[in-house]
């Protein structure tokens, strides 16, 4: 389960990397809009605010201790989160457009998938992960390509491991482009 899924936020005690910091910051901004409609998001948003503040104090408060490597890591994390957000926004727009084309709305889709209205909103907005089955149903209902519905991001640690391992294999005939495992995927 995704650590930054809406249902897991309160379980996070601290942010441990620039990537987590960027994800928390992005989610904090996303929840601003939802909090205006539903106050139940306020404690989650407050928790994120505290996590972000603590991380900034620990890692960014002393300008003299900020390293070039830290800045590079921050830039990479920002790019990763931006790519994720772009994917989720594109998926949301594709689903919304197909709903409109078919004369359905988000509540209708919630009923079809067996979800409550608020939960459906969190799924559509990328705050909770869709189940694989939900995405297959959406694919079949609306003929949206699976690659536009299923995120293909690979976590940094996993991409690094794969890249290092492939480099050590002597009979390796696998060739990948920079895009395949360049850590530009979350």
- pLDDT, one tens digit per residue, over 126-137 is 999 999 999 999
Phi, psi of 116 (to 5 degrees): -80, 160
What is the number of helices (H) and of strands (E) in the chain? Answer: 8, 0
Give which of 24, 31, 17, 30 is closest to 50, Cα–Cα: 24
User: How many CB atoms are closer than 10 A to CB 81?
Assistant: 22
pLDDT tens-place string over residues 169-183: 877 777 766 555 554
| Structure-token pair, residue 119 | 């939960």
Q: What is the largest CA-CA distance in the chain?
A: 58
The SS3 call for residue 47 is helix
Domain range 6-149, CATH class: mainly alpha
What's the pLDDT band for 145 if we cut at 50, 70, 90? very high
- Report domain extents, the chain: 6-149, 154-186
Residue 174 is encoded by which pair of tokens? Answer: 């696998």
3-class secondary-structure state, position 145: coil
Taking the C-alpha atoms of residue 143 and residue 128, their distance in angstroms, rounded to an integer, is 22
Question: What's residue 178's pLDDT?
Answer: 55
More confident residue, 183 or 41: 41
The yes-or-no verdict on residue 45 having pLDDT over 80 is: yes
| Predicted local confidence at residue 182, as pLDDT | 53
Average pLDDT value for the chain: 89
Do 147 and 178 touch, CB atoms closer than 8 A?
no
What is the mean predicted confidence (pLDDT) over 96-119? 96
Task: Name the least confident of 31-35, 82-86, 91-95, 155-159.
Answer: 155-159
pLDDT confidence of residue 164: 82
């Amino acid at each position: 389960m995704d650590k930054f899924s809406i249902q897991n936020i309160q379980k996070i005690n601290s942010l441990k990397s620039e990537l987590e910091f960027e994800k928390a910051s992005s989610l904090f901004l996303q929840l601003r809009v939802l909090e205006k409609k539903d106050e139940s998001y306020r404690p989650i948003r407050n928790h994120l605010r505290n996590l972000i503040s603590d991380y900034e104090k620990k890692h960014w408060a002393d300008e003299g201790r900020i390293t070039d490597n830290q800045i590079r890591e921050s830039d990479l994390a920002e790019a990763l989160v931006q790519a994720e957000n772009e994917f989720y926004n594109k998926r949301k727009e594709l689903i919304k457009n197909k709903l409109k084309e078919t004369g359905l709305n988000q509540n209708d889709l919630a009923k079809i998938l067996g979800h409550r209205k608020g939960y459906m909103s969190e799924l559509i907005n990328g705050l909770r992960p869709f189940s694989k089955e939900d995405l297959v149903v959406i694919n079949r209902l609306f003929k949206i390509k699976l690659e536009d519905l299923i995120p293909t991001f690979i976590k940094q640690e996993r991409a690094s491991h794969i890249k290092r391992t492939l480099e050590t294999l002597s009979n390796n005939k696998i060739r990948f482009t920079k895009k395949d495992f360049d850590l530009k995927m979350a």
